[in-house]
Amino acid sequence: MTTNFQDFLSQRTYSMRRNQIREILKVVSQPGMISLAGGIPAPETFPLEELYRLNETVLDRYGAATLQYDMTEGFTPFREALVGYLKAKEITVSADKILVFNGSQSVLDTLGKVLITPGDTVALESPSYLGAISAFSAYEPNYVSIATDDAGILPDALEETLDRQKIKFIYLVTTFQNPTGRTLSASRRRHVAEIVQRHGALVIEDDPYSDLRYRGETVPPFYTFAPENTVYASTVSKVFAPGLRLGFCVAPAVIHEWLYTAKQGADLHSNTYAQALATEYICSGTIYEQVPKIIELYGPRLEAMLAAMDQYMPADYRWTQPDGGMFVWVEGPKGVDAEQIYWQAVERKVAFVPGKYFYINPEEGLATMRLNFTRSDEEAIRKAIATLGAVIRDFKPV
Amino acid sequence: MTTNFQDFLSQRTYSMRRNQIREILKVVSQPGMISLAGGIPAPETFPLEELYRLNETVLDRYGAATLQYDMTEGFTPFREALVGYLKAKEITVSADKILVFNGSQSVLDTLGKVLITPGDTVALESPSYLGAISAFSAYEPNYVSIATDDAGILPDALEETLDRQKIKFIYLVTTFQNPTGRTLSASRRRHVAEIVQRHGALVIEDDPYSDLRYRGETVPPFYTFAPENTVYASTVSKVFAPGLRLGFCVAPAVIHEWLYTAKQGADLHSNTYAQALATEYICSGTIYEQVPKIIELYGPRLEAMLAAMDQYMPADYRWTQPDGGMFVWVEGPKGVDAEQIYWQAVERKVAFVPGKYFYINPEEGLATMRLNFTRSDEEAIRKAIATLGAVIRDFKPV
């Protein structure tokens, strides 16, 4: 009897979201395409030469331990190295409060597993990070969107939501948000923290980008304003190498304990060798040489994009003015369908991500676009924005 | 308002099983202890010297790609290398049929996610691998145990179970099982395959140990007898390095497709650098030099354990005669409580795992013990078994 196993799938599988943008982005690898679509680091930011040396140090120093099964919580020297890394962000925790995961994506997945009972409500910024929605959706939550402006989530909108219904957690990318590039301002962090504390609510702060600041003042993590009500999640993907899949989090005790148990059942522990590499990357100080180089590469690309947009984008379009990260967010006038613009731009060899995919209700984001500025050089960015401006001006609905 | 977040936990969190043996094994690291408790490779089996060279080859050959985000399915050269590795096991598949995960533990977790709706029934060998139970339990299944003998699962017992109730899948460690060391015989594989095919049922074959054969004839994977009804899962943990956390699977098309989607949401992809290392480990042929060395190390340890058991274990105890793997399984006479023996053995500096933890119903396994023979040398094994025999003879119930 041949079985196709369709009816063997779990109920939760039907709630999983496929990465819908994958399909439309297939064209991005066509020759000659300038892609503003991705969200991945420029490969020239990787410390490739240093890796030869880091590998030797790691094998000399830790030997067979780098290849062996290790603790679910994470490789102890890595957690100890993260103590100093986090302290520089004003997060003061001991190593035993840090849990290591396979990228921050896996922090989000495991949080979903531990926290979401099907039907629970999760609050998201509108728009929000698509990968978080993919991670949480496997656990069958409902979503509620919280309105945002250029300084991030609106405190009054949050408070109204918390008053109205039970919210399992509020998921925020607080600094240089994906997809908008916006940063929750310091004063608003304080206000949101006060609301969250008053309601006994839980915030998941996803902070992959804060080291990539090209201008403006550093803002301390939201965690520092409400440590007892926040899970802080981050990664070395943007400051070292995403291919190593190393993320980590700091969480309230009960949640920490169950994240640990869930991770033990899910994958035993994260790659020991990669954790040892990241340990040496931090402890040798290589990170403190590398991050300024990354900033030096990306900063001018952001400036080039913003300058080109001033020059080429139609007057009825507006866009964010990020101080860091990887993205600029564009909003066209009402009635624009950015996916139609996408297909016409692709014909002229420029790709981006239509912004509607970052909304729980895509209708709200039809006129939006996410533009990445880290994978192309200034010249390519200027050319791409000039083309995009022309496509928009010449746009004919199909 | 301080929140302890206990009531924020999901319903599924309450079904997660903590690794219960962790607590009783805390004493294992005491000085002077001979541990037969673990299930981890001897560190001297790791190709530490070769790693220096493999690292250079990987960086020279693949460069920045080893540090970059990569495909959810796995690093293409690694999947291509696995094609040949699997072909040697008579599993003939193309690279696009292979999915890479963070260890085979993560294959099991993701299968649970994709397949188990709360309340579904999963069939397990009795006893079964504890880690699989931990992985599946997060998805809230019920379990049914299938009786086994020295040649593995009993076909009649399986058929009766499949006739009686809807079974989501049957989980089998087919070769050198953890915890018993038993191998499902070739003729029984054929018989079980016939039953499974006739019922349109699904088997998850977990095969981490089959390369570690010290004697006897190779048995082809269960997958080869029923490829359309089997998910084949394996890992490089026992033949290369568990710290790299690399597992993989081959699954029927619908399941493959949703494993992919689930993995994308859970962690994007597995460690690129580790996959590149494993690629070179296989493609350079290092694996074919290393595995015979591992066998040469472990084989005499198994022989030493079996010989010592003949000499020192009481006549009313019986134990398995594995042809490979890492474990020997002991059954004492009715009325014995192996956990009481454990504590008295630990006082005399010998540790093992009481077998009841590998049963869905621990009462069935009170008199059983799992003994690992790969982490201690022959002399230590003989000493440990002599002590264990003496403890059993001197045993006074507490």
DSSP string over B329-363: EEEPPTT--HHHHHHHHHHTTEE-EEGGGGSSSGG
* Cβ count within 10 A of residue B154: 17
User: With contacts defined as CB-CB under 8 Å, which chain B residues touch A4?
Assistant: 252-254
B56 vs A: CB within 8 A: yes
What is the pLDDT, as a whole number, of residue A2?
67
- Backbone φ and ψ for A101, nearest 5 degrees, come out as -130, 175
Rounded CA Rg of chain A: 21
pLDDT digits (tens, 9 = 90+) for A309-351: 999 999 999 999 999 999 999 999 999 999 999 999 999 999 9
Nearest-angstrom CA–CA distance, B268 and A247: 12
User: With contacts defined as CB-CB under 8 Å, which chain A residues touch B271?
Assistant: 102, 243-245, 271, 274
User: With contacts defined as CB-CB under 8 Å, which chain B residues touch A137?
Assistant: 265
A314 vs B: CB within 8 A: no
Pairing status of strand B203-206 against strand B230-235? parallel
Return the SS3 of A156: helix
Complex-level ipTM: 0.96
Q: Taking residues A124-148, report their average pLDDT.
A: 96
Most distant pair of Cα atoms in chain B: their distance = 66
Q: For residue A1, what pLDDT band results from cuts at 50, 70 and 90?
A: low
User: With contacts defined as CB-CB under 8 Å, which chain A residues touch B68?
Assistant: 40-41, 43, 46, 241-243
Pairwise CB contact (< 8 Å): B267 & A228: no
* Residue A56: CA count within 13 A, CB half-sphere: 6
**Among A48, A198, A270, whose Cβ lies nearest the Cβ of B59?**
A48
Mutate to test the interface with B, among A71, A267, A290, A297 (most CBs of B within 10 A): A267
Return the SS3 of A66: helix
- Domain A49-284: which topology? Aspartate Aminotransferase; domain 2 (3.40.640)
Assigned architecture for domain A17-39+289-392 = Alpha-Beta Complex (3.90)
Pairwise CB contact (< 8 Å): A135 & B266: yes
Whole-prediction pTM value? Answer: 0.96
How distant is the Cα of B114 from the closest Cα of chain A, in angstroms? 5
B222 vs A: CB within 8 A: no
Among B82, B136, B137, B90, smallest CA distance to B281 is for: B82
User: With contacts defined as CB-CB under 8 Å, which chain B residues touch A44?
Assistant: 64
What is the pLDDT, as a whole number, of residue A256?
97
**Among A63, A201, A270, whose Cβ lies nearest the Cβ of B245?**
A270
Per-residue pLDDT of chain B (398 residues; tens, 9 = 90+): 567 899 899 999 988 877 777 777 778 888 899 999 988 899 999 999 999 999 999 999 999 999 999 999 999 999 999 999 999 999 999 999 999 999 999 999 999 999 999 999 999 999 999 999 999 999 999 999 999 999 999 999 999 999 999 999 999 999 999 999 999 999 999 999 999 999 999 999 999 999 999 999 999 999 999 999 999 999 999 999 999 999 999 999 999 999 999 999 999 999 999 999 999 999 999 999 999 999 999 999 999 999 999 999 999 999 999 999 999 999 999 999 999 999 999 999 999 999 999 999 999 999 999 999 999 999 999 999 999 999 999 987 76
Tokens of B209: 């140990």
What is the pLDDT, as a whole number, of residue B2?
67
What is the pLDDT, as a whole number, of residue A26?
78
* Cβ count within 10 A of residue A356: 21
> Please, which residues have CB within 8 angstroms of residue A344's CB and are 6 or more apart in sequence?
A391, A394, A395, A396
Task: Give me the total of CB pairs closer than 8 Å, taking one residue from chain A and one from chain B.
Answer: 277
What is the pLDDT, as a whole number, of residue B1?
59
**Among A59, A269, A272, whose Cβ lies nearest the Cβ of B48?**
A59
What is the pLDDT, as a whole number, of residue A23?
74
Pairwise CB contact (< 8 Å): A48 & B67: yes
Pairwise CB contact (< 8 Å): A16 & B265: yes
Q: Where are the domains of chain A?
A: 17-39+289-392, 49-284
B268 vs A: CB within 8 A: yes
User: With contacts defined as CB-CB under 8 Å, which chain B residues touch A261?
Assistant: 16, 18
Pairwise CB contact (< 8 Å): B10 & A269: no
More reliable by pLDDT, A280 or B6: A280
- Tokens 């038993």 locate to B182
Q: For residue A24, what pLDDT band results from cuts at 50, 70 and 90?
A: confident
**Among B134, B229, B255, whose Cβ lies nearest the Cβ of A265?**
B134
Find the Cα–Cα–Cα–Cα dihedral B379, B385, B388, B390, rounded to 10°: -90
Tokens of B247: 């597992």
Mutate to test the interface with A, among B102, B178, B194, B277 (most CBs of A within 10 A): B102
**Contact status, residue B323 vs residue B218, Cβ threshold 8 Å:** no
Interface of A with B in 94-123 (CB under 8 A): 101-103, 105-106, 109, 113-118, 120
Pairwise CB contact (< 8 Å): B113 & A197: no
Nearest-angstrom CA–CA distance, B398 and B396: 6
What is the pLDDT, as a whole number, of residue A20?
72
**Contact status, residue A81 vs residue A54, Cβ threshold 8 Å:** no
Between vectors from CA B123 to CA B118 and to CA B124, what angle results, nearest 5°?
120
A20 vs B: CB within 8 A: no
Pairing status of strand B142-146 against strand B121-125? parallel
pLDDT digits (tens, 9 = 90+) for B246-305: 999 999 999 999 999 999 999 999 999 999 999 999 999 999 999 999 999 999 999 999
**Among A11, A59, A254, whose Cβ lies nearest the Cβ of B51?**
A59
For the domain B18-39+289-394, what is the CATH code?
A: 3.90.1150.10
* Cβ count within 10 A of residue A195: 19
DSSP states along A323-354: SBSSEEEEEPPTT--HHHHHHHHHHTTEE-EE
What is the pLDDT, as a whole number, of residue B206?
98
Q: For residue A398, what pLDDT band results from cuts at 50, 70 and 90?
A: low
Mutate to test the interface with A, among B14, B235, B273, B375 (most CBs of A within 10 A): B273
pLDDT over 90 (residue A232): yes
| H helix runs in B232-324, sequence order | 253-267, 272-283, 286-312
A198 vs B: CB within 8 A: yes
- Domain B48-284: which topology? Aspartate Aminotransferase; domain 2 (3.40.640)
Among A47, A27, A25, smallest CA distance to A38 is for: A25
